A and B are shown apart, each in its own frame.
Chain A
């Protein structure tokens, strides 16, 4: 699987199908990106589980912190990883001990570990790297357009007014290109592009 760019269909299918999301490295600090993403996905109806061994006994937006993936009492559809690249392999190893296996491992913006991705994919797990599920959800639903962001989608359909806790439709027509490619250009050596 090529991880330099993802089709909107690939991302859309993942965000439409997963329900339970465990976030490894969730922070209780409300200015950290993990907090933003956790809260947003919870508002959009995902069953969110915060994982952070240092925070056990506390909770994040009303959801109790759990120490590790293995201590979760229900099947997990997706693991969203807020740890830097060197910590990803042990997380994948942990995930591979789960039964049932998670369907998706998602590495946050700026995090990429191709070796760990290959290992997860060999077990049939889908992998997304160097992307943010909040940004992708906001983009495909076009909710992110409030911020002047290019959603790279078009729709002539009337959407229901968004309310708190509502799942938004992600089934808009895709424009393709744009943001994902640009993210990769930024992540790679800038000298490559002319």
Chain B
């Protein structure tokens, strides 16, 4: 058998799935069960001791969820993955394996507002200290490195501003500092950008967005690139030291290049508990089968809408890196040659008032706090997702008061443009 490398669309349909051994079911069944029977007490002991592959309890593994995990790992080019109940849960679980109280991590200021909140407040209460840097100013990451730095966190395409991050430049800073680079690849999806190919050690997603793609299920995932040596400087005791939770197993020694994903599962998910429901895993898995088709359409529509908006007299500025005039266009062509995604912002000459009126006049676009749905979505970040930030932080993360964010769906683009046209002239 040849080691032929299948294309992305083939992996999106097949990776991780096979006909059900018991029934022959071809679609992945929903294993809606909390627990799995043991063959005998020795089998149970082997499973609890991590000596055998198999299922114990859905908080730790589930056969529907594991298909989703393998599929996303394959699409990202990682060694393994771990699904969680939401994107935010994925972040908590990933950081728990890396940071002890008093440790630091560096994060780009251009992030989803919810992540800025999570890092500034919830993480702070765990003693995990975020140090902010600017993804448009690579040396700001270098300057932020201290002996307590344990990780660097960025978004590949930042929400809401749509800016493209120079992943390779920041990966170089992370390597020099001897810490893993974590990339939130939610807005790009592996169809547009594969951060591991550019030096990321860990990739995180909110599956809630384009991967699930239909606005029906929360979910998150952590992908292990298998590239980081956790035992080198003893900086990551969860991975390199004997774990008392498992009678002294050393995870990297035992699990090699997927030890981080295993740590997230057997230390993070097992003990913190934010497991994905098998039903959500099934819906997200079904969504992923059409990811390449949907992303092509999302990007084509987004470009058409962005071009139309930038020619409109009421519009002050369109921040879409797919437009040649955009400051991130060169980076977009390098990192996301197939398309610059479908989430972008624009500002109206009429400022805050015009933004609010536009949102209320739209008939096809839905006003809600999500992105990456088949449906086109609109929001005014300054009064919603980013409302907890002060004005300065709002502007720095691309959510100034005059900014409107769109997430372009897969409808007919003529209908989306017509809706924007009537709302802008209403």
A residues lining the B interface (CB < 8 Å) = 7-9, 12, 30-31, 33, 35-36, 39-40, 43, 109-110, 132, 135, 138, 142-152, 154-164, 171, 173-179, 182-183, 185-187, 190-191, 193-194
Chain B window 10-39, contacts with chain A (Cβ cutoff 8 Å), 1 for yes, 0 for no: 110011101111101000000000000001
CA distance A109 to B255 in the complex (A): 9
Q: Min CB distance, A22 to chain B, in Å?
A: 20
Q: Min CB distance, B229 to chain A, in Å?
A: 5
Residues of A within 8 A of B21 (CB): 158-162
Q: Min CB distance, B93 to chain A, in Å?
A: 13
Interface residue stretch chosen among B61-69, B323-331, B350-358: B61-69
Q: Is the CB of B70 within 8 A of A149?
A: yes
Chain B interface: which size bin?
35 or more
Q: Which residue of A lies closest to B223 (CB)?
A: A150
Q: Which residue of A lies closest to B255 (CB)?
A: A135
Residues of B within 8 A of A8 (CB): 1, 3
Q: Is the CB of B1 within 8 A of A183?
A: no
CA distance A179 to B303 in the complex (A): 36
Q: Is the CB of B53 within 8 A of A144?
A: yes
Q: Is the CB of B254 within 8 A of A43?
A: no
Interface residue stretch chosen among B129-137, B244-252, B386-394: B244-252
Cβ 8 A contact of B49, one of A30, A43, A149, A164: A30
Residues of B within 8 A of A142 (CB): 18
CB<8 Å pairs between A and B, sample of 24: A7-B3, A31-B246, A31-B248, A33-B254, A35-B51, A36-B50, A40-B52, A145-B67, A149-B70, A154-B6, A159-B19, A159-B21, A163-B39, A164-B43, A171-B1, A173-B1, A175-B11, A175-B15, A178-B74, A179-B257, A182-B79, A182-B227, A186-B228, A194-B172
Q: Is the CB of B80 within 8 A of A159?
A: no
Q: Which B residues between 202 and 243 are near A, CB-CB below 8 angstroms?
A: 225-229, 242
Q: Which residue of A lies closest to B74 (CB)?
A: A150
Decide if B310 is an interface residue (CB 8 Å cutoff): no
Q: Is the CB of A182 within 8 A of B66?
A: no
Q: Which residue of A lies closest to B69 (CB)?
A: A148
Q: Which residue of A lies closest to B246 (CB)?
A: A31
Cβ 8 A contact of B18, one of A35, A109, A149, A156: A156
CA distance A130 to B262 in the complex (A): 19
Residues of B within 8 A of A9 (CB): 1-3
Q: Is the CB of B227 within 8 A of A148?
A: no
Residues of B within 8 A of A186 (CB): 226-229, 257
CA distance A138 to B16 in the complex (A): 13
Q: Is the CB of A145 within 8 A of B16?
A: yes
Q: Is the CB of A148 within 8 A of B39?
A: no
Q: Is the CB of B226 within 8 A of A31?
A: no
CA distance A135 to B55 in the complex (A): 17
Residues of B within 8 A of A36 (CB): 50-51, 254
The 7 closest A-B pairs by CB, nearest first: A148-B69, A182-B226, A176-B3, A150-B73, A158-B19, A149-B80, A161-B21
A sample of 20 more A-B contacts (CB under 8 A), given A36-B51, A144-B53, A193-B227, is A7-B3, A8-B1, A9-B1, A31-B247, A36-B254, A145-B67, A146-B53, A148-B65, A148-B66, A148-B81, A157-B18, A158-B21, A162-B21, A175-B74, A176-B4, A177-B5, A182-B227, A185-B227, A190-B175, A194-B199
Cβ 8 A contact of B70, one of A30, A43, A145, A155: A145
Residues of B within 8 A of A173 (CB): 1, 4
* Known contacts A146-B54, A146-B61, A148-B82, A183 near B18 by CB under 8 Å: no
CA distance A29 to B413 in the complex (A): 64
Residues of B within 8 A of A155 (CB): 18
Cβ 8 A contact of A148, one of B247, B249, B261: B261
Q: Is the CB of B18 within 8 A of A179?
A: no
* Known contacts A7-B3, A35-B51, A175-B5, A150 near B227 by CB under 8 Å: no
Q: Min CB distance, A107 to chain B, in Å?
A: 13
- Most chain B CB within 10 A, of A35, A159, A182, is at A182
CA distance A164 to B39 in the complex (A): 8
Residues of B within 8 A of A174 (CB): 1-4
Q: Is the CB of A40 within 8 A of B51?
A: yes
Q: Is the CB of B15 within 8 A of A176?
A: no
Cβ 8 A contact of A147, one of B61, B225, B247, B253: B61
CA distance A156 to B48 in the complex (A): 31
Residues of A within 8 A of B18 (CB): 142, 155-159
Residues of A within 8 A of B52 (CB): 39-40, 43
Decide if B258 is an interface residue (CB 8 Å cutoff): yes
Cβ 8 A contact of A161, one of B3, B10, B22, B256: B22
Q: Is the CB of B51 within 8 A of A39?
A: yes
Decide if B78 is an interface residue (CB 8 Å cutoff): yes
Q: Which residue of B lies closest to A183 (CB)?
A: B257
Decide if B140 is an interface residue (CB 8 Å cutoff): no
Q: Is the CB of A194 within 8 A of B171?
A: yes
CA distance A184 to B257 in the complex (A): 9
Residues of A within 8 A of B273 (CB): none
Residues of A within 8 A of B254 (CB): 33, 36
* Known contacts A148-B61, A179-B258, A182-B227, A156 near B43 by CB under 8 Å: no
CA distance A191 to B81 in the complex (A): 24
Q: Is the CB of A147 within 8 A of B1?
A: no
Q: Which residue of B lies closest to A174 (CB)?
A: B3
Q: Is the CB of A149 within 8 A of B55?
A: no
